Structure 1
Amino acid sequence: MTVDLDSSGSCRFRVLTAPGPGAVAVIELTCEILETAPHMLRRLSFVRPNAQSGILASVPPDNVAPQNAAVSVKGLDSIMSLGRICYGYWNAEDLVVVRTSELTWEIQCHGGTIAVNRICRDLLSDGVLEGDRDTEAVSLATPAASMDALRLKDVQLIVKQAVRSRVANARSRRTAGLILAQASNSLCQDLMTILNSLSKDVVEVKAVRQRLAGWLDVADHLTEPWRVVFAGAPNVGKSSLMNMIAGMERSIVCDQPGTTRDIVEVDGVVEGWPFRFVDTAGLREGSEDQIEELGIQQSHLATSQCDVLCLVSDDAGAWHDQLSLMKLPKHTVLVRNKCDLMAELDFVQPLRNKSPALSGLPIIHVSAHTGHGLPELLEWIRRAVVPQEPDKNTALPVCARQFEIG
């Protein structure tokens, strides 16, 4: 008997798991007339574990043919009895199929958007409708539109959950406002473009991914501060700079080398953006004091794990050997301290001549004693990590992991 799927509209499917990557995605398929099930499942090809070898082997082709071939109701009943777990694939996608009732099947495939989108598109092209029969969003004329409407609700839920969890950890009014804005700006539509990548223009999807990926670092630091490390030789004024920025004495200040032995951190906000300023032990060749030597090792570790490195110096000649051993991060600035003690012409040309390793690094002259140059230093730090400031209309990927962005 030949069944006209278009006229009966008896086969439907729905995605039971939320969009985005995961271990397993589940798609439920139902039909009202059992005779339509073979057509609904026509793209399945079944395999089963080989009892002797322990590997997957194809089911003999009695009643079950490869993809795109008709399968009888009797063949389905013999292979897919109620509750039986069947291994197989949908075109190139590995999956597991379970018959949960006389007219209902569950397909369990790889989590993520690619496998689910491919299977759903195949079902739609075969005339299978999406959603429950009573769902108003389902339309025979526009099944793809109903699919988008249901997925949009799931995407909005994911974004709202991300916003709710992140705003609780916001460190400034500005970052809190940007987080809250993601629930109402274009982020959901951008994520829908990625989610429906198989049905969208490749260039459009790539452009959306690149745009969101470009804001990934900013999105990550809406709740986590950027790390700014002050490193340099002993007794160049790193701790004094930290104290001036913090507005309180968090670091011990002394003219004796080796005073700072532990990592000292202080959190602050610069133009609405969160930063963690880190004071380190002076970098110099091995110390006889084991505790001080440990502090120097921690300083090297801190410089390798920071977002911004401020190399503090009051004499460029002391820097050459240390810099040759360090891999400078992308955002590195030379902070020339104690500028109040020297003439302006004394700390530009000699600096570059004495230390070729500093060639090309920006230089900011400051004084921890008077505060001169500190506003310029903080402005440079902010611009280094946020060269283009977002506003509330900017889509920031606050749920990048769920949609494989970056």
Structure 2
Amino acid sequence: MNRVIVLTPPGRAALATIRLEGSAVKDVLEKQLLRRSGNKFRFEVLPRPVLVRFPVGDGLYEEVILRVVNSETAELHCHGNPLLVETITAKFETFGFHRETWEQWIYRTEEDAIRAAARLALADAPTWTVTSILLDQYGGSFSRMIDKVENALIEGNWQEAADILHRLLSWERVGLHLTRPYKVVLVGPPNAGKSSILNWLVGYRRAIVDPTPGTTRDFVAAATVVEGWPVELYDTAGLRPPQDELEAEAIARTRRTASDADLVLLVLDRSTEWTADYARLREAWPEAVVILNKRDLPPGPGAWCEGLYLSTRIGEDRPVLLKALSQKLVPEPPPPGEAIPFTPDQVARLKEALAAVETRNRSMAVKALQSLKLKSSPLGNP
């Protein structure tokens, strides 16, 4: 099959790469391309890329850089204008080339599903921490541990197989958040400083800060990084007896959003008096990181709970909060080279294998393990 693949991401860019594969590459390029001088192009494996002219219609030519990989593979590097990229790609379709996405190309060309999934995930890796972990999996850390489990099963060592599977699954939370940011929700009473803390953490004015209670009615979300881990922060409506139907709905949505958060930050104004309402909020989210905000002001009276005593006006308090969030989200970061499952499908297959091991069902365990590497989807989506 002859294929045309746009390897660069969609959207405007300085350059784009279009890959051609198949037996028709040589014939089509020789018929279409011209040398820069205007002479016909003769296809051959060249030691370095060359500048050529490609017809884009109505007697017009676009100068592109051609790299000949082998007798059936070449790459065209052109301007990244989406219209030009589409024009060139569509023209090859008229020559009988099948259009393939870059995801499909990766999934087809990688040796197994784990490497393909890791390479796909690397395209969206937001931080070096995430990138380094995914590179370990691409390099075989996860695959080698799967091989160890299979070998243990062949030798009849059920306990070793179970121990390895338990270790792999212990990284489920970390692994799944390599491709999906942690959801961190700020909750608390009005004017506790939730919006200020969100702005403080992301480093710019994302949320509106106003002294009027109830200013935040809808959610404000912002992406950031906490010590290498991708995080999405949510500022929410202040929790108090609602003043109208709109505020009642906003408060209900706040509680729903916090219920499925990976971490809740309970923000309380330390300059005010401790109240029964504060106590109820603390009881509602016992696992929350409590932020006792506004320590730049005189502390209010009452028997206050424990928490992080800080202020957005004090610069050295920011790294203290970031450290606390990181330790709560990832108490034990994985060591370099650790095998970590990073897709829901991988976690599901590992759980199937563990269940089979615990019932001494060798064939089902092996089947689940082998399915981890099997490339069964034509869409590049293991």
Superposition TM-score tier, normalisation by shorter sequence: 0.5 to 0.7
Match of 1:178 among 133, 138, 144: 133
Match of 1:378 among 302, 322, 336: 322
Aligned residues: 237
Match of 2:117 among 159, 162, 177: 162
**Percent identity of equivalent pairs:** 32
Does structure 1 residue 235 correspond to structure 2 residue 235? no
Change (3 A) 1:321 1:183: closer
Query: 8 Å contact 2:179–2:342 — kept in the other structure?
Result: no
Change (3 A) 1:156 1:383: farther
Equivalence map 1:98-117=2 (5 Å) = none
Match of 2:278 among 312, 319, 322: 319
CA distance in 1 between counterparts of 2:167 and 2:263 reads 23
Query: 8 Å contact 1:304–1:327 — kept in the other structure?
Result: no
Displacement of 1:400 after TM fit? 5.8
After superposition, the C-alpha distances for 1:155-174 in whole angstroms (9 at most, x for unaligned) are: 96121111112111211122
- 1:83 aligns with none
Displacement of 1:323 after TM fit? 4.0
* CA RMSD of superposed structures (Å): 2.4
CA distance in 1 between counterparts of 2:205 and 2:253 reads 21
CA distance in 1 between counterparts of 2:327 and 2:260 reads 19
After superposition, the C-alpha distances for 1:253-302 in whole angstroms (9 at most, x for unaligned) are: 111110000111111012211011110100112x2322211111111111
List, as ranges, runs of 4+ consecutive aligned residues in structure 1 with deviation greater than 3 Å: 193-198, 321-324
Change (3 A) 1:310 1:209: same
- 2:304 aligns with 351
SS for the counterpart of 1:278 is strand
TM-score, normalization by structure 1: 0.54
CA distance in 2 between counterparts of 1:156 and 1:188 reads 11
After superposition, the C-alpha distances for 1:285-330 in whole angstroms (9 at most, x for unaligned) are: 2x23222111111111111111111110014324123444x354x4
What stretches of structure 2 of length at least 5 have no aligned partner? 1-109, 352-382
- 1:389 aligns with 333
Change (3 A) 1:237 1:219: same
TM-score, normalization by structure 2: 0.58
Does structure 1 residue 208 correspond to structure 2 residue 164? yes
Does structure 1 residue 193 correspond to structure 2 residue 148? yes
CA distance in 2 between counterparts of 1:289 and 1:371 reads 37
CA distance in 2 between counterparts of 1:401 and 1:253 reads 42
What stretches of structure 1 of length at least 5 have no aligned partner? 1-154, 353-361
- 1:339 aligns with 295
In structure 2, give the amino acid aligned to 1:320. A
In structure 2, give the amino acid aligned to 1:298. R
Does structure 1 residue 310 correspond to structure 2 residue 265? yes
Displacement of 1:178 after TM fit? 1.3
Change (3 A) 1:227 1:236: same
Query: 8 Å contact 1:194–1:208 — kept in the other structure?
Result: yes
In structure 2, give the amino acid aligned to 1:181. D
Match of 2:246 among 250, 269, 291: 291
- 1:363 aligns with 307
After superposition, the C-alpha distances for 1:180-233 in whole angstroms (9 at most, x for unaligned) are: 111224321211234466424111111111111111111111121111111000
CA distance in 1 between counterparts of 2:264 and 2:343 reads 28
Query: 8 Å contact 1:244–1:371 — kept in the other structure?
Result: no
Displacement of 1:366 after TM fit? 1.2
After superposition, the C-alpha distances for 1:335-371 in whole angstroms (9 at most, x for unaligned) are: 000100025xx68x8203xxxxxxxxx5101112334
Query: 8 Å contact 1:263–1:281 — kept in the other structure?
Result: yes
Query: 8 Å contact 2:182–2:232 — kept in the other structure?
Result: yes
SS for the counterpart of 2:223 is strand
SS for the counterpart of 2:303 is helix
SS for the counterpart of 1:378 is helix
In structure 2, give the amino acid aligned to 1:319. Y
CA distance in 2 between counterparts of 1:272 and 1:405 reads 26
CA distance in 1 between counterparts of 2:312 and 2:151 reads 55
- 2:367 aligns with none
SS for the counterpart of 1:251 is coil
Change (3 A) 1:217 1:266: same
Equivalence map 1:40-59=2 (5 Å) = none
After superposition, the C-alpha distances for 1:46-98 in whole angstroms (9 at most, x for unaligned) are: xxxxxxxxxxxxxxxxxxxxxxxxxxxxxxxxxxxxxxxxxxxxxxxxxxxxx
Question: Higher mean Cα deviation, 334-343 or 392-401?
Answer: 392-401
